[in-house]
Amino acid sequence: MSEDTTGNVDRRSVLKAAGALGAFLGFSGTVSATPGRDPGPKKDEILVGVSASATSTEAAVAGAIPSNAEIVHTNETLGYAAVKVPSDASTQAREDFKRNVRKEKHVEYAEENATVEAFYVPNDPRYSEQYAPQQVNCEGAWDTTLGDSGVTISVIDQGIQYDHPNLAENMDGSVSNYGRDFADDDGDPYPVNADENHGTHVGGIAAGGTDDGEGHAGISNCSMLSARALDESGGGSLSDIADAIQWSADQGAEVINMSLGGGGYSDTMANACQYAYDAGSLLVAAAGNDYGGSVSYPAAYDTVVAVSALDETESLASYSNVGPEIELAAPGSNVLSTVPFDGYEELSGTSMASPVVAGVAGLALSAHSGLSNEELRQHLKNTAVDVGLSSDEQGSGRVDADNAVNTDPGDGGGDDPDDPGEETTTVQDSLSSSYDSDCWSYAWTFDTPSQVVVELSGPAGADFDLYVNEGRAQCPSTYDYDYASYSWDSQEEVVIDYPDTSTDLYILVDSYSGSGSYDLTVTEYEG
């Protein structure tokens, strides 16, 4: 941990450290982007994010690129450039580059193009019958709808065998080859060999053919897109995932499934998820398979529904990650689905649980077409079933297709701002300088709150951060906290779903840069 000369902790180095990638000495002039990057992981790249005010992403970054590096990819929509650096560059040289490029006028961050990997655990030979659709009560939902082909689920993963006999009818024919290949940068997301089975398996869970007389039953008959961002090794670059998220949103996908994770917090990935969320997509992701470890990114972002895995007995799967970010649980062990070529197999992992939720989301949206992504998200949580696990293990509970389809949105409670079961408290105060902070405590008023939202609104142009402890009688710090929201902005928000009814919040408002008055608003929604 580093400190400035005044003794203040430089929390950006603690919270947003990009890892081992960094910089070089010897800068040159304009550099042109080069096509044809290798597919899969890109360990020799640094992602540099620029502000929306920059007229050109490449121009904003090019002036800080050393002669032995090059810009190999840009995404103008998300505002980042991928800079390839020599593989033998020293750690110190890389760190120097990261530090120097951040000094450029329009540059907001620099981070490694981390490797994101598929989550699954090898399992025993396939069972003769499925259990996942029955466990989430699909039968009741299917009495109402098998899934509307007008609802699209985009699967960001390895490639999908889109001509599989149990998938072909549900592929979205509005897009050439039913998707795009970001790993190989072409228009055909078809798997390269039989070992590339993860995407086909995940896709078959969410939208494999149901009631079609072929193979297994998927959760929904919604349409499906394949965004191939992981190559045959199961790995892929952070930038490919981000591009696939943006592309999926631009295709109008109502649901985006990401059975993948790794690399820690990333501004590039966070921006991509925010982009898709703002576009109206519901993002669903696997929590990770680290046997009780913390929830992995992208599942841990506020814009993404994090899903833990259950086994056939509705117990938490031993491999599943857990934490306060978990919003729903779903069957993930020994799940039968499609694999290349024209086959079926059982696989286990939170990778299998996530598309169950994505498929149920598709069913719910098929039945309730007017729902926004936020309303759909809350509806899935309101209609989930408590299976006796802690909130860190199951979130709101096990997703339930019957309830989600056959319960009118709003009947399950939730956070309707116009509902009388709402109470808001706002405090106003000010901070006098950078690294100044205030701490507040807040006690519940409702007996059974279903959600608590903490919002911070600071002065324009400043950088204010928000940290929250729940149930710990102490103020959080910038490196020890239960919840946090810290972006290069003065507007921050923390959402706590189904908190304990007897605990208090301790809230730290912290100024990283700038000063001035701020509003801190805490809203309880009783459900």
Per-residue pLDDT at 167 exceeds 90? yes
* Reported confidence tier of residue 92, pLDDT bands at 50, 70, 90: confident
Residues 204 and 347 grouped into a single domain: yes
Last residue of a domain, one of 67, 83, 113: 113
Helix, strand or coil for residue 58? helix
Residues 279 and 377 grouped into a single domain: yes
Average pLDDT, integer, range 267-285:
97
> How far is C-alpha 472 from the geometric centre of its chain's CA atoms?
27
| 1 belongs to a structural domain | no
Residue of 212, 223, 204 whose CA lies nearest to 164: 204
Residues 106 and 160 grouped into a single domain: no
Instruction: Give the CATH number for residue 148.
Output: 3.40.50.200
| 124 belongs to a structural domain | yes
Residues 388 and 450 grouped into a single domain: no
Of residues 467 and 490, the one with the higher pLDDT is: 467
Residues 125 and 84 grouped into a single domain: no
| 416 belongs to a structural domain | no
Considering its fold, how many domains does the chain have in total? 3
| 417 belongs to a structural domain | no
What pLDDT score was predicted for residue 414?
36
| 51 belongs to a structural domain | yes
Q: Which residues are catalytic?
A: 157, 198, 351
What pLDDT score was predicted for residue 471?
80
Residues 265 and 300 grouped into a single domain: yes
User: Angle at Cα 21 formed by Cα 15 and Cα 22, nearest 5°?
Assistant: 95
User: What is the secondary structure of 437-505 as a DSSP string?
Assistant: EEEEEEE--SSSEEEEEEEEE--TT-EEEEEEEES-SS---SSS-SEEE--SSSEEEEEEES--TT-EE
Question: Who's near 452: CB < 8 A, 6+ residues apart?
Answer: 495, 496, 499, 505, 522, 523, 524, 525
Of 85-89, 177-181, 355-359, which gets the smallest average pLDDT? 85-89
Residues 330 and 383 grouped into a single domain: yes
Instruction: Give the CATH number for residue 463.
Output: 2.60.120.380
Structural domain that includes position 36: 11-113
Pairwise CA distance, residues 99 & 82, whole Å: 16
Of 107-116, 124-133, 297-306, 342-351, which gets the smallest average pLDDT? 124-133
Last residue of a domain, one of 406, 430, 456: 406
Which residue reads 């929250």 in tokens?
468
Of 166-180, 320-334, 415-429, which gets the smallest average pLDDT? 415-429
pLDDT tens across 340-398, in order?
Answer: 999 999 999 999 999 999 999 999 999 999 899 999 999 999 999 999 999 999 999 99
Residues 56 and 141 grouped into a single domain: no
Residues 375 and 393 grouped into a single domain: yes
| 4 belongs to a structural domain | no
Residues 86 and 224 grouped into a single domain: no
Q: Which amino acid is at 440?
A: W
DSSP category for residue 515: -
Residues 300 and 334 grouped into a single domain: yes
| 415 belongs to a structural domain | no
Of 121-135, 294-308, 449-463, which gets the smallest average pLDDT? 121-135
Last residue of a domain, one of 113, 143, 160: 113
| 221 belongs to a structural domain | yes
Residues 437 and 389 grouped into a single domain: no
Instruction: Give the CATH number for residue 35.
Output: 3.30.70.80
H or E, element range at 362? helix 350-367
Pairwise CA distance, residues 132 & 136, whole Å: 6
